[in-house]
Structure 1
């Protein structure tokens, strides 16, 4: 089989959207046998077998026709992965280099980062029960509804403004650390070691502030924001702070609203987070793709383990506008209805195709494997030796070196929309 369906499953986290307000639940109705939506339950991730569409051993995808794991099937059919991808990433066990997800976020995810390869290997050896694999996890989030997130450190001058204008924040930073940061910012290149160290000192001091002190300061901040006593510089994050406090009362992570870029993405816009970049997804539905890993270092907005020492030690402390993290959409070959999102890593890219009823789009053969999710509508995938009828919510594996044609077959004005993650060396 060159092209075949795989069976995704869903995860119910408290941060997921409820019932059919979640893209995850809507997709699952079509793709998972005997799946029924409970309107009272949150549905967070549309993934295969337990967490994702992919081959990570913690929760591998299944081949729909046989029930065999995707990794097992690919290990016996290496041509579906492709020779060059196999050689680069070592796929003898059938493991793909990437994972593919759909997330529906109602409640913010944790303040977190992902380790680089060397750090992941070390953490996996030291704490295998927490860091369950030795791989890094660069990731891309592509909005399919309006989407908000915290991503990467703000420019240093913006952080300095908050430290000057938000007394509740400044009170959590030791005076010597605060003075040094405000002295360094105007005169130092933000990429210089002194600037990175000053930012690290501020972030570390904030995340380790004594609980009794930061909860008192947070209560004062919330009271002030609720009374609309807000400086002009604070207005852009006032609603975010109040939202996070409702979801995670008395959590130090709320103060990260003053250190990290707050971005609002429209459908079709994307951000990329490399190793060591702090972030937190706040709300919205996204397509998410990442390297084949489950490693997350958390520090706030979560009931899970907070590993603040490792987070502080592994961040890049690159302070820059949010535009640094945006992924510029590109044409996909000569295609007219397909858009490529190609982050600066070798493990994955994502292409989005949108067709009106009756339209056709061809994708050239890719020298590597791919997984596609039907996000909207219905239609047909055709290749040299076969075809598949597809509907919203179904997940499809496409083998290496397989050209496919996409046909939209829905009702009038019902678009066929497909997101396809792939790797090509």
Structure 2
């Protein structure tokens, strides 16, 4: 493999850091661990490898593969044109995005991310908890079969769950439950603005009642529900999720009740969801590529031993509701063999490329920096008449305004994801 300096071509292989959170998949099956091994990370098969971070975030900054004491941020600071002057100035020398691989063994917390205004206020008021003033929209693209909770269900589904699971009605209280059921019955799924606002208010009352329930009531009713479902032949997905999440977070976690209110989304490789500001979600299992604005701000309220900020979460949510399928993104064509996932934000987009032997994919110069990770096969990356070996787990930074082409190698196929910014 050729290792380039900036005088030849602005392409650099990266060594990226892992995060070993409890919910991660163990090293012998984790995609995070598998990819990290390719850049020299020693893997413990019995440890959970949850995330691989690709970018300039100070909590786990990427470094240059052939210069491990030089960070990607140092490189950009020395060569601003790799980022472009406008992006460099706007993001103070950092990349606008953080690119990740996630390998999930058990559910992450019920959470949402603040918008820019709320992020700034939370950082000012509680800087030890909310450590930066930025928003954190994020997108997840499945590498393996992937499960998540994403957004509120259609209201008629929640109403049906109140009938199916009497423990939910008891938890929220008769008055709140009846008011919600009456609203659903009277509005009948109307999209009129007044009806929608009334429905959102009723949904907020239910969610608030669940999340603010006394711990004793949550534990008692969840135990009652689990006992009932354990002795039944109920194969409904929500019932199975209740049992699964209760095993993962025993002792009565209020987040288990959230599966009755939030959409269950199952994705096949290449399918994606976008999680905008102030929308509730939780990843459940699988491996994914994730891209987000460069922030660590998370507001949690269930399925976690970490700090829960229920009041902020209840107040911040939009209470939009809709089907599980409506949560999925529709990619567009990008090049001959690539798909573009382009969320409605400025910080990032992601392209997925899949090519076979004898196929060549060309990406025109992008007016911003990018990072790519190979998730399958092997091949060659060519830029400015220089070629670089690429194989599963390799990560490269590609400077702005660089035309590149890709060829599949001896395996007969090549798959990679490329995150980039086009602010300039």
TM-score norm. by structure 1 comes to 0.93
Give the gaps of 5 or more residues in structure 2: 1-5
Contact map agreement 1:73 1:94 (CA 8 A) in 2: no
Q: For 2:162, what is the secondary structure of its paired residue?
A: helix
Cα contact 1:70–1:94 (8 A) shared by 2: no
Offset of 1:83 from its aligned partner?
4.3
Of the three residues 288, 305, 308, the one matched with 1:306 is 308
- 2:298 maps to what in 1? 296
Displacement after TM superposition at 1:29 (Å): 1.1
| 3-state DSSP of counterpart to 2:365 | coil
Greater displacement, 36-45 / 136-145: 36-45
Is the contact made by 1:97 and 1:348 (CA closer than 8 Å) also made in structure 2? Answer: yes
Tell me the equivalent position of 1:421.
419
Within 5 Å, give how 1:140-155 maps onto structure 2. Answer: 140-155=139-154
SS in 2 for 1:286: strand
Matches within 5 A, 1:203-242: 203-228=207-232, 230=234, 235-242=236-243
Superposition deviation, residue 86 in structure 1: 4.4
SS in 2 for 1:343: coil
Q: 1:29 aligns with which of 31, 37, 42?
A: 37
SS of the residue 1:402 aligns to? coil
Once residues 229 and 183 of structure 1 are traced to their aligned partners in structure 2, the CA distance between those partners, rounded to angstroms, is 31
Query: What does residue range 320-399 of structure 1 map to in structure 2 within 5 Å?
Result: 320-332=322-334, 335-399=335-399
Taking the aligned partners of 1:10 and 1:107, their CA distance within structure 2 comes to 17
Q: Distance in 2 between matches of 1:77 and 1:329?
A: 33
Distance 1:323 1:74 in 2: 40
1:8-47 aligned within 5 A: 8-31=16-39, 33=40, 35-47=41-53
**Which aligned pairs between 1:281-292 and structure 2 lie closer than 5 A?**
281-292=283-294
CA distance in 1, matches of 2:223, 2:418: 45
Contact 2:265 2:325 in 1 (8 A): no
> For 1:362, what is the secondary structure of its paired residue?
strand
SS of aligned partner of 1:282: strand
Q: Secondary structure at the match of 1:169?
A: helix
Q: What is the CA-CA distance between 1:281 and the residue it aligns to?
A: 0.3
Q: In the alignment, is residue 195 of structure 1 matched against residue 199 of structure 2?
A: yes
Give the gaps of 5 or more residues in structure 1.
48-52
Equivalent position SS for 1:186: helix
Of 120-129 and 182-191, deviating more is: 182-191
Q: Which residue of 2 aligns with 1:112?
A: 111
Q: What residue in structure 2 maps to residue 50 of structure 1?
A: none
State the distance in 2 between where 1:354 and 1:167 align. Answer: 48
Match runs of 1:47-66 below 5 Å: 47=53, 53-66=54-67
Q: Residue 22 of structure 1 contacts residue 104 of structure 1 at CA under 8 Å; is this kept in 2?
A: yes
Normalising by structure 2, we get a TM-score of: 0.93
Residue of structure 1 equivalent to 2:3: none
Contact 1:84 / 1:367 at 8 angstroms: preserved in 2?
A: no
C-alpha distance in 2 between matches for 1:142 and 1:57:
24
Residues 19 and 43, structure 1, Cα contact 8 Å, conserved in 2? yes
